[in-house]
Structures are given as structure tokens and as C-alpha cells.
């Protein structure tokens, strides 16, 4: 089984400013975790830029124009209280979204079964018309929309980042071809993701209260998330892989560990084998403890590639 790793040096150069938790060190920690004999079979590929047409399948043209115009020549441009751009941020965001689209093409063309996009900035808070929550473009949503444009009828996105992916939910709110299933801490930023937010029946939210355990996470996945994905019979499984539900993470209060990321990934791979010819694409979202990122990435990718 051939597996791919997409990344780009621009994703290491993007900066949201000194002291910002979404720092280049995050991606460096992920890449260090993957620089191991265990992952030698991963084919490393330089992520291409997303095209404007690809971006506009998920985003309003005005947002694409806004992000491009906001990119500073030097220093930082503040988009909101949490989200900022440096001179390399636009390139990083284009490469992040382009990585997921390229992974979709590779899997649909049959050249691989699994792919991980080691990219930043993260994407799942970017809505159809707004950059927010450290996110400029919604890379997974852009990739899912690209998969539909390539002819797939059912794409499942599973988001286990500790923060709800309000942007992905917004983009696919009334699109029955995409299942968005999220488990996340609530209450917590951005304040969305209640169980009664269901779109056209394609949105599945399973919030967890602060201090929830590994047992609670696995239970809610077994009872709600995984059965929903199974019923959907996806032709492609995509993962918004945030690792900030880890007990070491400084921005949230759940108590997951690396074995939980191994477990949920194996469960999703099993569903993909049954319904999606084994096709799974994962893309990095949050995670702000470098130790947790190294441990969780290794567990997740180990399970992803088998």
C-alpha cells in the first residue's frame, strides 16, 4: 500500500507573530516525528499551490481576494484577534490547500491509498467567507469540494480537533454529498458544534465537556461518530487531524493520549477499506504542545499507513 506525505517549506515560514501558539515549531515537531525509519515508506512530495478555481469551490471569491490583498510585504497583518499573516503566509495557505487537492488527485487516480498533509496554517475554522481562528483557507474543505468535482458522490470528513470546525460545517451545511462529523470540547472556541446543528442531516456533532477522559472520547465515537460515517458509506474518508484534545495541550481541557489517536485512525481506516477502496486523507489542524504533537502524529500516521 503506497502512502504519501505532502508538505512545503513555506508552511514552516508562515508566522502569526512572536509568542503565537500556532508557530512554525508545531510543524517542525510533526516533521521530526516522521523522520524515523518507521515512516521511511512515506513518499515525500512538495505540495503544489491550490488554484483559484479549487479555492472557489469552497470559498467566496471575495475571501480569496481579501486574503491575497492582506498579505504583508514585511511585518504582520492582523486579520482578527487570533489570526495574522506574515510575508510567507499566503504561500503557505495556498500550499496547504493545494496539498489536500493533490492528495485527492493521487488517491482517485490510484497511485496511493493514504496521504497525510503536514501543512499549516490550519484550516477548519475558515468559513465560506471569513478567515478566522488561525485559519486562512479551509484546506480540507477545499480538498473535499475538489473530490466532488472529480466525480465522487460521498465524502466523509471526520474532525477530532478539540475545537469545533465551524468553517467546514458552514461550507457544507446544505451539501448532502459531504458528511461532516466532529467531536470536540464544548463550551470552547468558536462556540459552535451543538448536537442539534445537523445541516441537511449531513452534520454530526458530538461535543464533550471539559475534563472528559479517553473512555468518554471512545464511547462517543463508537456511539455517534463512527456509526454515522459507516451509514454514509463514504467513497473517500478525510480527517481534520487536530491533536489539541491531548492532555498536555495548553489551549483546551480534554484528556486524550496518543493511543486514542491510534485507535480512532484505525477505526476510520477500517471504514475506508469497506466503502472507499481504503482511501484516507488526513491533514494537520491544531495541537499546541510540541511533545503531544510528536507522540500523537507518530501514533496517527502509524495507524494511517498500517
Listed in sequence order, the DSSP H helices in 2-157 are: 10-13, 24-34, 52-56, 61-70, 89-108, 139-149
- Mean per-residue pLDDT, 230-249: 98
Give the confidence band of 108 by pLDDT, cuts at 50, 70, 90: very high
Tell me the pLDDT tens digit for each residue of 199-210: 999 999 999 999
Give the confidence band of 104 by pLDDT, cuts at 50, 70, 90: very high
Scan for cell 514552516, then name that residue. Answer: 12
Averaged confidence pLDDT in the chain: 98
What are the b/e assignments for 62-74, b being 16+ CB within 10 Å? ebbebbeebbeee
Give the confidence band of 1 by pLDDT, cuts at 50, 70, 90: low
Grid cell of 115 as nine digits: 496521504
Tell me the pLDDT tens digit for each residue of 5-33: 999 999 999 999 999 999 999 999 999 99
Is the per-residue pLDDT at 186 higher than 70? yes
Topology (CATH level 3) of domain 3-305: 3.40.800
- Mean per-residue pLDDT, 217-223: 98
Is the per-residue pLDDT at 4 higher than 80? yes
Compute CA 227 distance to the chain's CA centroid, rounded to the nearest angstrom: 21
pLDDT of residue 58: 98
- Mean per-residue pLDDT, 107-116: 97
Grid cell of 206 as nine digits: 458530538
- Domain boundaries, given as residue ranges, for the chain: 3-305
Tell me the pLDDT tens digit for each residue of 254-302: 999 999 999 999 999 999 999 999 999 999 999 999 999 999 999 999 9
Tell me the pLDDT tens digit for each residue of 52-102: 999 999 999 999 999 999 999 999 999 999 999 999 999 999 999 999 999
125 is catalytic: yes
How many H helices and E strands in the chain?
11, 10
pTM score, whole prediction: 0.98
pLDDT of residue 111: 95
CA torsion 172-178-179-182 (nearest 10°) is -50
Catalytic residue among 8, 59, 124, 125: 125
Is the per-residue pLDDT at 247 higher than 90? yes
- Mean per-residue pLDDT, 149-164: 98
Give the CA diameter of the chain.
Answer: 49
* Closest C-alpha to 83, from 41, 54, 125, 49: 125
Amino acid at each position: 500500500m503506497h502512502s504519501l506525505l505532502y508538505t512545503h517549506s513555506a508552511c514552516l515560514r508562515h508566522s502569526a507573530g512572536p509568542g503565537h501558539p500556532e508557530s512554525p515549531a508545531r510543524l517542525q515537531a510533526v516533521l521530526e516525528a516522521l523522520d524515523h525509519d518507521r515512516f521511511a515508506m512515506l513518499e515525500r512530495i512538495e505540495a503544489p499551490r491550490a488554484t483559484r478555481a479549487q479555492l472557489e469551490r469552497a470559498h467566496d471569491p471575495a475571501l480569496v481576494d481579501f486574503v491575497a490583498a492582506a498579505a504583508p510585504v514585511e511585518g504582520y497583518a492582523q486579520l482578527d484577534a487570533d489570526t495574522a499573516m506574515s510575508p510567507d503566509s499566503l504561500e503557505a495557505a495556498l500550499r496547504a490547500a493545494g496539498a489536500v487537492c493533490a492528495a485527492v488527485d493521487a488517491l482517485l487516480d490510484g497511485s496511493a491509498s493514504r496521504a497525510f498533509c503536514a501543512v499549516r496554517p490550519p484550516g477548519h475554522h475558515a468559513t465560506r467567507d471569513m478567515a478566522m481562528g488561525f485559519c486562512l483557507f479551509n484546506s480540507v474543505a477545499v480538498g473535499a469540494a475538489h473530490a466532488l468535482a472529480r466525480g465522487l458522490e460521498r465524502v466523509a470528513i471526520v474532525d477530532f480537533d478539540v475545537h469545533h470546525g465551524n468553517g467546514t460545517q458552514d461550507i457544507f451545511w446544505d451539501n448532502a454529498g459531504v458528511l461532516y462529523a466532529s467531536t470536540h470540547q464544548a463550551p470552547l472556541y468558536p462556540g459552535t458544534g451543538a448536537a442539534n446543528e445537523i445541516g441537511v442531516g449531513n452534520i454530526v456533532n458530538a461535543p464533550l465537556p471539559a475534563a472528559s477522559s479517553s473512555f468518554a472520547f471512545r464511547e462517543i465515537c463508537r456511539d455517534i461518530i463512527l456509526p454515522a460515517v459507516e451509514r454514509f458509506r463514504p467513497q473517500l474518508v478525510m480527517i481534520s487531524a487536530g491533536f489539541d484534545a491531548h492532555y498536555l495541550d495548553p489551549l483546551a481541557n480534554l484528556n486524550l493520549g496518543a493511543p486514542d489517536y491510534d485507535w480512532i485512525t484505525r477505526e476510520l481506516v477500517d471504514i475506508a477499506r469497506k466503502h472507499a477502496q481504503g482511501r484516507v486523507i488526513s491533514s494537520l489542524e491544531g495541537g499546541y504542545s510540541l511533545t503531544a504533537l510528536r507522540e500523537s502524529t507518530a501514533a496517527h500516521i502509524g495507524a494511517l499507513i498500517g
